[in-house]
Structure 1
């Protein structure tokens, strides 16, 4: 050994258990950082791919731009690549049958194909999905919608040739060409006339996959796609352009500058989320694919970007504090054990700087071992997790692939190294400050207060006796040791509450709105009434788990001013403009009923109130759905209560249809956040009142139900259901049904997979917290072996020593729980407020997490005493008194 620092390696080898424990702390910390980074990148990758599939892989769309401007956009210096789409024309598949028109007076006069020409980039950007076949490669090839095939006189197959008479849709009464709003092509006129212009023959090379979010017009207007290379563009023909910028920085500013340079006249800018929304185009309409941009942190809403950055930065800082706390405690305990050793080094000439160097050198050596292993274990842990997800073969996350990012691995390593050195600085300074004399007496940092300065607790003494008094005063007579141990536990509790809150926030923010049902049967005939015999037949099918009659009517409601959520009112003042009495009149509300069995099933959804059918029938009782999910003008997703009704409140409503203009009073019997078949918050800014079928009939004067929701038994084959529904449609064209079995199964699988990932992550947090507490508490007790021997020597029994240790642990747990829960809850709230710029949800006190944290802290501290007490039982009093810690 040439210098004092040469002792570092010898100590690490001589204290293998302590060294391994420190390395384990480093490994767990780096594993946590690596896991979080990897799962974050992987989930982001999945979201990006899913968003591209749902909304397209482009940044900006330019709708209805003339051909002469297309090359200018394509060659703009900001633009990386473009996809181009244009309408080739409409083609009539068949005229709508008279029987269908009789059953549905609003039926379109024809079943149309809407033929559009895509270039290769447009097909790629708009993520054209096929059921079978391939994409078209020239203008003589076409892909058809799978749902359109049954309307062809002879159903086309792959390789077949189809002749289409392409032309225009006109309004018969005026002769004007039918105006089409956007690429979605919604709507028709009842007196619509088709005017053919030219014929084309196409070879069918593929069939388009039916979209999950089919629109009300999709039964009559079906998409068809052919190929166009757009090498020669007609100057006066309108096109749709989909643009990917070279850089996503300042997308909005670049787009506006580009469009300004084209001098196209009136341009309408909008941050639309999807292609098929009803776009009223003026001259040219600009839409930003904000759903995709926000995943890259490049949303056109700066508030969204900064909110996400700040929130994620806060999460990383908390993780850093957690890792520093774990490693700091390990190093600090190591220093406490070796105070006398450092004193000997000081006596033989070691300077404070050399002592600090020894500790920091230990930190470096342990980092070189622990950090690479931590990165490896974090990666392997993610490998195992993703492998298990793939075995489950679940929905949304089934194709979630593991993304190993070198920057993430390097960041985890650097943050781990930074954590280790930040953790070691304090103990290193502490070791160098101890005087040789104090260190040799083993007082240093464990110097205790005089017994007279430690106050007695009469409450503890009366409750637990003299042993309780010893336990209480032991905690307070060494403030340094108490703070170290308590700090370790507090940090662990904070981390658990914060990350449990994050899990709940993510689950709430990612809930997708929509109804959870297997099949929906509706009747669009003139009567708008389904015969009870149909419902009874469906209810008796073995494959049907539950079926609900669905009554629905639009109602006008007077909303008292003091019952409107003020925050919602500030965002939507235009909704509350017509005053009537002491409130505002709102027209777009709904009175609904799922029948009496549906009302019973809604009990599980209640937030407050009760469901008493007889009482509701007497008092016109309703269940009010208040919570919605909305996008603000700043791009913020907001989950908010529209109103603040309470059980017992009265509301005046009347139906919009049927001439029932007289207001009737309904009584709030309960509050729900979701309707019976919902899997999330509604995105419609309406207030829904659920009631019994009798109250519905009394208020509306109508007892007809035009729809039935069916929940299939997952353990039974569904063939009997689909056979019966198909037979109804063939027998009566007024019937129409929707099959959502596959979609519902996928949604449930998504929830399971997401829970596995989130709670697996929580499991890692709990493991680190558990080891942190056990390490700190148990080491604290082992360091006091001599002290316990003294207590035994003066007459304290082994049982009383054990009781004292247990009480100390409980007191530690109680103190740490109060402080940790308070700080953890405050931090949980703060982080959710940081996210509020992008996604705002109602925050509630996390009582469930608080309860687990409290119980976990007490149980963990008790478990931490088991091994030290076992060791103390084996130690002879004389040997313990001679021992140096």
Structure 2
């Protein structure tokens, strides 16, 4: 027999289960790698087409010499060319400034080898003595415009491919080694009947190449399908490309060559007679006396034997433990960070409530609804468009206004001391109330406009935000009822008695963290049954508008409007007495408020419920809440008089690009969450990848190792050990590997999680969390892989122990 090609196929068929597991492992690594490379390559091709639609040229040659440009167009290196004007800015280093460059007859060309456009441009510049520029946006997509960029990118791609190849070929090495050791006597017999070392090498090479090429083909097919699906979701036109498969073949087959050389040495370095006798298994070492250890004390004879078996092959045990430890470490880290992200989402929801985006500006006598809708709110079309986004789960219209208290003491006079002292907003309100209380006793200078300053102090202290609520709003607010009820009468209101704020950070609280931004405060010591009187908003608005129109009609022009395009200054007007109209409007407003109070134009509302928002931040606008019909009755507005809009957002689907539309503090919070959420998707995929590869290696190695120990296990059966007890004994080896790998994995996983949190907490609004339940996941997964692979392999061993006893040792 001189042709041993079919022998390799025979060995593979004999161990088809092991081969299938190995091929699946290779397929997974190739699928992951090819998906990334194929998607990236397709994206680059698509970007090239988009760039060429805008500017379909690679090099533009700049010269006023038309004859020389004609010679360039006829050059063999040029594929096509056309002439046209060129203008742009160029930096002149001598003058340290940009200058404008214009050419009427520039030559735009595409060359035959676009991957060499930079070197071709430099060569043609030297040949023809002209200046030239690359289409930089296109050149980058051809890996140009940077010295050595093409080589660096290719090296990086090959390096990444080689890292994946190490995993994949490592699985093949384990499998082929097991095949080789199991069939070493066959190889010895072949040597005895004339087979050369080269022929035996080819058998081993064909076994490795057969599994690898099958795995690569399956992985490329799977990777193509995944990349097409990914491209569809990312709006990238992805198809099959041979280019991304080339570095995979180079790395995988190149590494396989050297690994198979190592495997072939197992049968070629010993003599044929020694191979037939199985002398490769004899290890010349001193017999070591070992105690029973902890395993013996815990599990008796079976535990002691399992411990000694592990110590006899400590290298294999260490590799198993290390592989599974890395997987468990990755699982602990990923699941802990996933818990951080989940808790952060809950914290965001608790802090900001149902409506994460809100755009409102309460109406007032100074800014009516018409002005707000035209200046501050998006158009009806924009609101409708925003509502249709897939991440918007609810759109809510807001009806709010700034009313005026008859007596500020009935509301702001019941301010909580801690809120007033420890928050910036509370301090501002307290200072405002103090100015109002001292308005009649304060000493003013001759330059002060006393009437205006008293009016401003009185108006500011009387302002209070009112929101009209429908039944859904009241049901939502009922979740925060501290006392009373949210079932309001026509003259009933809800007031805020507590909630969280973020503006206490100015106090220098050392406990403030990026995650724990809000701090709870009691705000107003209001009780159910207290009453609050509000100036009749409808009559107030009517009288103020009439007085304001009369004031503007009687005013005189001080300075005209200036609009030069770059500068705009509004016109300035004043009363006949010399007071500016923007000051006079406050004086008028306060005078009318006092007149309405004296005439009894106010309404009395009873506190029927006190709200405490808990961990949720206090609303920017919203001091008291009433039924929407009561709000319309007070203000005179109707359903069409919307003063704001707010959206409920699904955090798990909102894109990062959306956050530019939000307020600054919420943008930071949500952007951090979305960033961590997206990173976690890749991290979990990587952890699963590591775990699967480690599992495949462990399953392969365990199956081969137990197959090699058939005679040892048969001897134990002969000595009286039952099949069930034998399985229990060998399973204890898996218990040792599982226990040690979990202890180390839990330890390293916790340490790395803490360090990762320390890093993330500097960048993101994230809660420190150790996912203790992840330990159970890691333990269950490792036990299933290690102990399961042992159990399945033992169950597959032959029932007849006589054949195993005949094995040569």
| TM-score relative to the length of structure 1 | 0.45
The higher relative CO (CA closer than 8 Å, separation ≥ 6) is in: 2
Larger Rg: 2
| TM-score relative to the length of structure 2 | 0.49
